[in-house]
Amino acid sequence: MREVAVIGAGITAFGELWDTSFRDMCAEAGVKALEDANVVGEQIDAMFVGSMSAGRFIGQEHVGALVADYVGLGGDLHVPATRVEAACASGGLAFRQAVAAVASGMSDIVVAAGVEKMTDVADATDVLAGAADREWESFAGATFPGLYAMIACDYMNKYGLTREQLAQVAVKNHYHGARNPYAQFRSEITQSTVLKSTLVASPLRLFDCSPVSDGAAAVIVCPLDRAKEFTDTPIKVLASAQAGDTIALHDRPDFSTMGATVAAGNSAFKQAKLERKAVNFVEVHDCFTIAELCAIEDLGFVQKGTAGKFTEEGQTQIGGKLPVNTSGGLKSCGHPVGATGIKQVWEAVQQLRGEAGKRQVDGAEIGMTQNVGGTGATVVSHIFGRV
C-alpha cells in the first residue's frame, strides 16, 4: 500500500452565500486547491466529492460529474468523478476514497472535495433528518437537535456535566472561529450568550447547535514519494480509519459513547503507531456541543465523563493541553454538511504547515480529524503529520 500525502488545500468562506451557487463554490475551492498544489487539470487522475443531500437541497444528484465538469475536468479530460455520501461524514469519506485510490495505485493525483448548499431551502431540518433512521426516528419527530439532546441528557445524568461546562464548548469554538477568516461566525461569545439563547431541545440551546451553512472545500492528494515535486510542505496521511454503527440511536447500548468513534479512533492510532499524547490538535465533529465532549473521550484523549471539566479548564483552547477545533469547529466555522470533513483536513494542513495565523498551535507536528454521520452511524478519522 503506497503512502499518501496532501499537497494542496482550498476553501470558500462558510456562511449564507446567497450570491454563490453550488457549482460556483466548488469551482472556487477546487481552483484554490489546484493552485495551492501547483497542479493543473491535466495532471488530475480522479476526483471524489462529498455531498450529503444535493438531491433535496438543490434538486441535483450526480454531483461528482457536475463538479468535475465545472472545474474543467469533465469534457476533454474525462476525469472520473465519484460522489460519496454518509450524511455529515460525506466529506471525510470523500477524502478516505481519495486516499484509497492513491494507496491502491489506481490513481496518482486525486482531488477530494466537499460541498453543500443548504440555505436555499426552507426545510433544512427535515432534509438533515434523512441522516437518521427515517422510518424509526425522523417519522416519529426525532430530528437531530432532539437526538443529540437525548445524548446530552444521558451524559449529564451519568457524569454530572454542568450546563456551564457544556456552554464552554461553544465559547471556546467561537474564540477559535473569531481567528479563522473563513468562519461563518467570527465573533467571540460568553457563557451567558449560550445560556440565554433560545431553547431548541432541552438541554440544548441555539448556541449549542451548529448552523445551516453553504460552503465548499477541496484538497489534493498524491503518493508521498512524489509530494515534493509539488510542494515544500507536504502533509503525510498517517492513518485513515472508518467505522459504522446502528443508524438509530435507540439501538445503541450507551447513548453517551459513540462506538464508531471508539472503533475508528483505535484503528487510526494503530495504523499510525502513535500514542494519544503525540497528537497536538484535533478537529472533531461538534454538530452540537455535547458531541465534542463525547468525541474527545471516545477518541481516548481524556477519561469518559471528564471532558466537561477538561474544557472548563481551558485545555481544549489554543494554548491548552489539546486544542480542539481550532477552525472554530462546526459551531463557529459553520457546517455545510458535505464540506465539513474536507474543512477538517484543510485545517489540519494549515496547522501542520504553520500557516494558521492567529489560531496557530505552536509546534504542531501531528493532527487528527473525526467526522461523524448522523448520531454516529458513520465515523471517519484521519491522522496527519509533517514530513
Binding site for its own copies (CB under 8 A): 1, 21, 23, 46-47, 52-53, 55-56, 58-66, 68-69, 73-75, 77-87, 93, 96-97, 100-101, 103-106, 127, 130-135, 138, 240, 242-248, 251-252, 259-260, 263-264, 373-374, 377-378, 380
The terminus-to-terminus CA distance of the chain in angstroms comes to: 18
- Residue 305 bridge partners (DSSP): none
Cα–Cα dist 175/163, whole Å: 19
Cα–Cα dist 193/229, whole Å: 48
At its nearest, how many Å lie between its own copies and the CB of residue 126?
Answer: 8
At its nearest, how many Å lie between its own copies and the CB of residue 236?
Answer: 17
Cα–Cα dist 212/379, whole Å: 21
Cα–Cα dist 158/152, whole Å: 10
- State phi, psi for 360 to the nearest 5 degrees: -65, 135
- Which sign does the torsion angle of CA 264, 266, 272, 277 carry? positive
Catalytic residue among 26, 88, 287, 333: 88
Cell of 321: 493541553
At its nearest, how many Å lie between its own copies and the CB of residue 366?
Answer: 21
Is there a catalytic annotation at residue 88?
Answer: yes
For residues 13, 14, 16, 21, the Cα torsion angle rounded to the nearest 10 degrees is: 70
Cα–Cα dist 346/173, whole Å: 17
Is there a catalytic annotation at residue 333?
Answer: no
3-state secondary structure of 116: strand
Measured from the CB atom, is 352 or 380 closer to its own copies?
380
Measured from the CB atom, is 330 or 377 closer to its own copies?
377
At its nearest, how many Å lie between its own copies and the CB of residue 212?
Answer: 16
What is the Cβ-side half-sphere exposure of residue 123, based on CA atoms within 13 angstroms? 7
Measured from the CB atom, is 73 or 169 closer to its own copies?
73
Measure Cα distances from 369 to 282, 317, 344 in Å.
6, 16, 6
What one-letter code names the amino acid at 32? K
At its nearest, how many Å lie between its own copies and the CB of residue 169?
Answer: 25
At its nearest, how many Å lie between its own copies and the CB of residue 251?
Answer: 6
Catalytic residue among 174, 285, 335, 382: 335
Pairing of strands 204-205, 199-201: antiparallel
Whether cis (ω within 30° of 0) applies to the bond prior to 203 is yes
177 Cα distance to chain centroid:
14
At its nearest, how many Å lie between its own copies and the CB of residue 328?
Answer: 25
At its nearest, how many Å lie between its own copies and the CB of residue 295?
Answer: 16
- Contact between 165 and 159 under an 8 Å Cβ cutoff? The reply is no
For residue 250, count CB atoms less than 10 angstroms from its CB and return exposed for 0-12, middle for 13-18, buried for 19 or more: middle
Cα–Cα dist 122/9, whole Å: 31
Instruction: For the beta carbon of residue 290, count every other beta carbon within 10 angstroms.
Output: 27
Q: Catalytic amino acids?
A: 88, 335
